[in-house]
Amino acid sequence: MNQKSLGYHFALVALTLFLTAPHSVAQNTPAWLPMQIIDVGAMPWEPMWTGLRGTSRGKKLYSNDQGGFMLYLEHDHGWDSPNKARHFHDFHEWGYVLRGNFLIYEFINARQTKGSLYNMKAGTWMSRPPFSIHGHRADAMDHQRVTPGAVQLAFSEGGKTYSLDPTNKWFSPDWQRFTDFTFAHFQDTATPQVMEWEDDEQLPGASVKWLSDDYANGFRAKLVYVPPGWQYAGESHASYFEKAQQFYYVLSGDLVVGTQEQPGVSVVEKQTVYKDFFINRPAKSLWVWTEGSLSTKGAMWLQVTYAEGAQKGNGPIGEAIDASKEQTKRK
C-alpha cells in the first residue's frame, strides 16, 4: 500500500468510526431556549402604533417570522382611529381587555352595514376566527366620547386583511370571493354571576376560568388564580414543551417564576413577576416550580397555549415534559 492509499485508508477508517460512534447526547438533547420575561410598564411606547391625533398608543410584546405579533394597546377617553371601515382577516386573532371599555361593531355578513355594537369592558376575552367582519364605524367614535378609555392585549396570528371600503388601503375586490363569514366569541370573565372560578386539575391549589380550548386546532386560553401563600403541590422540577408555545400575562398580584438554562446542570434562577409582566415561553424552554411559597399576595394571570408556533391549526397540544425524568432516560 503506497503512502497515498494509506492516507486514504486511515481517513476512511476515521470517518467510519465517527459515523458509527454513539452520538445520543448531541442528537437527543434539545436546544434549550430561554424564557423572555418583560416588565411591560418599563417598555417605551412605539411611534408606529400611535393612533389618530395621538389618541392611542402601543407596545409590541412579541413578533415572529410568520407575521404574528402581540400588542399592548392604550386608548384614551374619546380616542379615534384612522381605520373605521368594515374589514376581516384570513387569520385568527384574540384579545383581552385589561382596563376600561373598548367598543367595536360586529357584522354577520357583508350585506350588513350597521352591525351590532359590542362593549368590551375590563375582563372581556375575545377570540376571532378568520373571516369575521368587524370595524369601528364613524359613529362608534362618537360613542367612545362617553366611555372610559381602554387598555388591552391584542394578538394577530398574521396573514391578509380585507377591507370592504374601496377608499381603504386594505381594500381589494378579492374580498367578494368569500361568501361564508364567521363571528367572534366574547367571554365576560369579570362578572361572577356570568363566569365562576373552578378548581384547576392541572395545577393543584389553583383556580381556573376556561376561555378557549380548541383541541383539534391546538389553541387553549384560560385565566389562572393562585391564593396568597400558594405552594406548588409536587416536587420541584423543570418542565418544557417539545413544540408548544405559551404566553403568560400577569393581571394582578405576584408570582415567583423559576427558569433554568439546562436541566440539572445550570442554577435555577428565580424572578418575581407582578401585574403587567409578560412571559414568552417558547418550545424547549424550562419552567421550574420551586419549593416554598410562590406568591405573597396571590396572583392571577392570562395563559395562552399554541400546539406549535403561534398559529391555530397545528394541534393537538402536547403534554409538558418533566426534564429530570427525560434526563434519567438518556443516561
The reported pLDDT for the residue numbered 17 is: 35
166, 188, 210: which is the final residue of a domain? 188
The reported pLDDT for the residue numbered 172 is: 85
- List pLDDT tens digits, range 45-70: 999 888 888 889 999 999 999 999 99
Q: Which run of H or E residues covers position 138?
A: helix 138-144
The model's confidence at residue 30, banded by pLDDT at 50, 70 and 90, is low
The CATH number for 209's domain is 2.60.120.10
| pLDDT reading at 16 higher than 90 | no
The reported pLDDT for the residue numbered 203 is: 94
- List pLDDT tens digits, range 210-221: 999 999 999 999
SS3 243: coil
| pLDDT reading at 120 higher than 90 | yes
164 with 252, same domain: the answer is: no
| pLDDT reading at 147 higher than 80 | no
- C-alpha span between 79 and 140 (Å, rounded): 10
Quote the number of domains for the chain: 2
188, 215, 248: which is the final residue of a domain? 188
158 with 89, same domain: the answer is: yes
The reported pLDDT for the residue numbered 140 is: 67
| pLDDT reading at 5 higher than 50 | no
- C-alpha span between 16 and 267 (Å, rounded): 38
| pLDDT reading at 82 higher than 90 | no
The reported pLDDT for the residue numbered 258 is: 96
- Residue showing cell 400611535: 50
SS3 232: coil
The reported pLDDT for the residue numbered 28 is: 54
The reported pLDDT for the residue numbered 31 is: 87
Query: Which ranges of 61-134 would DSSP assign to H, the alpha helix?
Result: none
Domain hosting residue 259, numbered range: 196-330
The grid coordinates of residue 180 equal 361564508
Which sign, positive or negative, has the C-alpha torsion 42, 46, 49, 53?
A: positive
Q: Look up the pTM and report it.
A: 0.88
The grid coordinates of residue 287 equal 419552567
> 133 lies in a domain?
yes
45 with 184, same domain: the answer is: yes
Q: What are phi and psi of 303, to 5 degrees?
A: -130, 120
The grid coordinates of residue 160 equal 391578509
| pLDDT reading at 13 higher than 60 | no
The model's confidence at residue 153, banded by pLDDT at 50, 70 and 90, is very high
- List pLDDT tens digits, range 162-200: 999 998 888 888 898 999 999 999 999 999 999 999 999
Q: Which whole-number Å values give the CA distances from 313 to 70, 90, 105, 318, in the listed order? A: 18, 13, 27, 14
- Residue showing cell 372560578: 197
- What's the whole-number average pLDDT of the chain? 88
What single-letter DSSP state applies at residue 317?
P
| pLDDT reading at 9 higher than 80 | no
Q: Which of 148-152, 154-158, 232-236, 322-326 has the largest mean confidence?
A: 154-158
180 with 86, same domain: the answer is: yes
147 with 274, same domain: the answer is: no
- C-alpha span between 4 and 39 (Å, rounded): 64
- List pLDDT tens digits, range 91-110: 999 999 999 999 899 999 99
Task: Residue count of the chain, please give it.
Answer: 331
- C-alpha span between 8 and 19 (Å, rounded): 17
The model's confidence at residue 33, banded by pLDDT at 50, 70 and 90, is very high
- List pLDDT tens digits, range 222-238: 999 999 999 999 888 89
The reported pLDDT for the residue numbered 168 is: 83
172, 188, 204: which is the final residue of a domain? 188
Q: Which run of H or E residues covers position 74?
A: strand 69-75
SS3 86: coil
- C-alpha span between 320 and 323 (Å, rounded): 9
> 182 lies in a domain?
yes
